[in-house]
Chains A and B, each alone.
Chain A
Amino acid sequence: MDQVTALAEAPPRRARHLGGKVLLGMAVAWLALMVVAALTAHMIVPFDYRATSLEARLLPPIGLGGEFPYLLGTDHLGRDILSRLLHSIQLSMAVALAGSLIGAGFGITLGFLAAHLRGVADSVCMALVDLQAAMPFMVVALGVLALFGNNFLLFIVVIGLHGWERYARLTRSLVLAEVEQGYVTALRGFRAPPLLIYRRHVLPNIAAALIVNFTLSFPEIILLESGLSFLGLGIQPPLTSLGNMLGFGRDYVADAWWLPIVPGVVIFITTLAMSLAGDALRDRLDSSLNL
């Protein structure tokens, strides 16, 4: 559904319509909480996220009949859900960040190469970009996982493949426009090497647009990671991620509904908050960027 959501993003919208500044403030506060949780999870968890306890299995959260040390209850192996949740947020965020950086690095490099080399290389790059843009990414990811099997590093590379085509297309078009500018002509006149011109002068000038693209693709990458982990094709135990928690929790939905609901709610609020905050950011930057 990548294309569909990308198209749906196209018409200009205003966060003001959606309940205004209060909602935006709540979204930003939630995201800040997520960042803090991701950065400090290993220091603030009350329990080891892998520690099992046979006496304390499937305990509900506090307020629903649970007992004190387990704020959000326990899972089928008696592991503390809050501790697992914090570790999951940490790993999901880390994987999404690593994936985003890989995709950005690959796409931006390819975009520069296409704009610099032009001709056949440019056409081949752009044909690959079109192909990737036309393919639903979930299917591509599943194909790669089928071919090479699943391990942690490969999974991050697969996540990193997401969205490179948008960086490549954006970078190429921005670079092509930028090299027509006077300062590039001047630098060429001084016989500055192309790599230096691109890295020191062109890249900083197009960075703002690339950063906006980064904020747009980050929630998609979180959903991709969660989705694949939910299907059992992403993060594998003993590691834990939001999608992985939800996937295992699904089997206990009849006896212990909080198992899937706790990570599910976190995923939902986080993507909603990112969407609201991303809209606001784009509204603010769009006028100056003219994207």
Chain B
Amino acid sequence: MNGAWMAAKLLRAAATLLLAVTVVFIVLRLAGDPAEILFGDNVGEESLIRYRALWGLDQPLGVQYLLYLRSLLLGDFGLSSQSGASAWQLMMGRLPYTLQLGGVSLLLAVLIGIPAGVAAALARGSLTDRVVMLAAVSSFCIPNFVLGVVLILVFAEQFGWLPSHGTGGIWHLVLPALTLGTGWAGVLARFARSAMLEVLGQPYIRGARASGLTEGRVRWRHALPNAAIPLVTILGFMVGGLVAGAIVTESIFAWPGVGRLLVDSVKLRDLAVVQAIVLMVAATMVAANLVVDLLSAWLNPRLHAATGA
């Protein structure tokens, strides 16, 4: 991994982020005069002019754009039109909940999905393989909003074992984490299976076997670490997409995370908060892409050497 390659990657990530910010700025300005959107017809022309001056909206568009960039860099995403609080602080207040839910779900997905996928690959064509794969396809075909409602019906309403909404203790986490984690587990299982199968077909595995290593050593010491490389990529994207992935689940279970804040803000048309979350998601995705790129180049130097970039 040489410096120039890393610099190019970083530059590209920064450019993508700038493009995202620019698109948001253009779309926001296309939607109309922010002062009028905020105040409607309730205030006089004088107040509008005063606010335009206050927010720099009377400046040329280019200057506005630079002012916009500057305020974002300073962490100023505007004030919520509903509560008047800082959009940034509102979002940051909800983030721990999303990270908690997402972290547990991801852990669940890794602990179920990867062993299941590896087991399916090692017993290719067997009943285990078929059952695991059918379960995997079913689990990512069942949308979160269906699974969540079914889980509430069974475990909260019928048996009354688990709470159906809100936060409180570890029990409140179980149903939302199952809802969110199941689909990811299915994706991971399919990925783990195909990655493992591909590695097991490589000549160096045959070489390892031919040199008299035990099957266990071949599988766990030689095959699995190589199969893990594509899994790191997919996990990186899952972490990056955590907020977006949790939107529906958080809404079903009244989990007070960023996803629910986004849905509520969209309903109330609280643009400052929506903008803050959209930009945060964009930044997270760009960062996740970058980390995945760097990580897979580090784990698999051949990849990077082959592209020659």
Contacts and interface: CB of A to CB of B under 8 A. Distances in A.
Interface of A: 1, 3-5, 7-8, 11-13, 17-19, 127-128, 130-131, 134-136, 138-140, 142-149, 223, 226-227, 230-233, 243, 246-247, 249-250, 253-254, 257, 260-261, 264-265, 267-268, 271-272, 275-276
A140 B20 CA distance: 11
Contacts of B269: 146-147, 149
A276 B31 CA distance: 42
Contacts of B16: 127, 130-131, 134
B146 A143 contact: no
B244 A18 contact: no
Given A131-B16, A147-B31, A264 B150 contact: yes
Given A17-B130, A142-B266, A143-B278, 5 more contacts: A1-B184, A3-B241, A128-B23, A134-B282, A233-B267
A254 B153 CA distance: 7
Contacts of B271: 146-147
Contacts of A7: 191, 233-234, 237
A275 B187 CA distance: 13
Q: Which of A13, A18, A127, A131 has the most CB of B within 10 A?
A: A131
Nearest to A222: B143
A136 B244 contact: yes
A90 to B, nearest CB: 20
A221 B267 CA distance: 21
A135 B31 contact: no
Contacts of A264: 145-146, 149-150
A268 B142 contact: yes
A179 B81 CA distance: 53
Contacts of B285: 134-136
A218 to B, nearest CB: 13
Contact of A230 (B145, B265, B270, B282): B145
A249 B184 CA distance: 26
Contacts of B274: 142-143, 146-147
Contacts of A267: 143, 146
B149 A271 contact: no
B137 A139 contact: no
Nearest to A223: B143
A271 B141 contact: yes
Interface string B135-168: 0011011111110011011000100000000000
Contacts of A246: 145-146, 149
Given A18-B137, A131-B20, A146-B271, A254 B157 contact: yes
Contacts of A231: 247-248, 251, 263
Given A4-B187, A147-B27, A227-B143, A134 B286 contact: yes
A131 B23 contact: yes
Contacts of A128: 19, 23
A268 B195 CA distance: 27
Nearest to A149: B269
B92 to A, nearest CB: 17
A268 B141 contact: yes
A275 B234 CA distance: 20
Contact of B187 (A8, A243, A247): A8
B183 to A, nearest CB: 7
B281 A139 contact: yes
A3 B239 CA distance: 12
Contacts of B15: 127
A4 B241 contact: yes
Contacts of A4: 184, 187, 234, 237-238, 241
A247 B143 CA distance: 13
B87 interface: no
A253 B145 CA distance: 13
Contacts of B270: 146
5 contacts: A1-B241, A3-B237, A143-B274, A233-B267, A272-B142
Contacts of B248: 138, 227, 230-231
Contacts of B267: 232-233
A243 B153 contact: no
A128 B252 CA distance: 32
Nearest to B275: A143
Contact of A5 (B140, B244, B251): B140
A8 B252 CA distance: 26
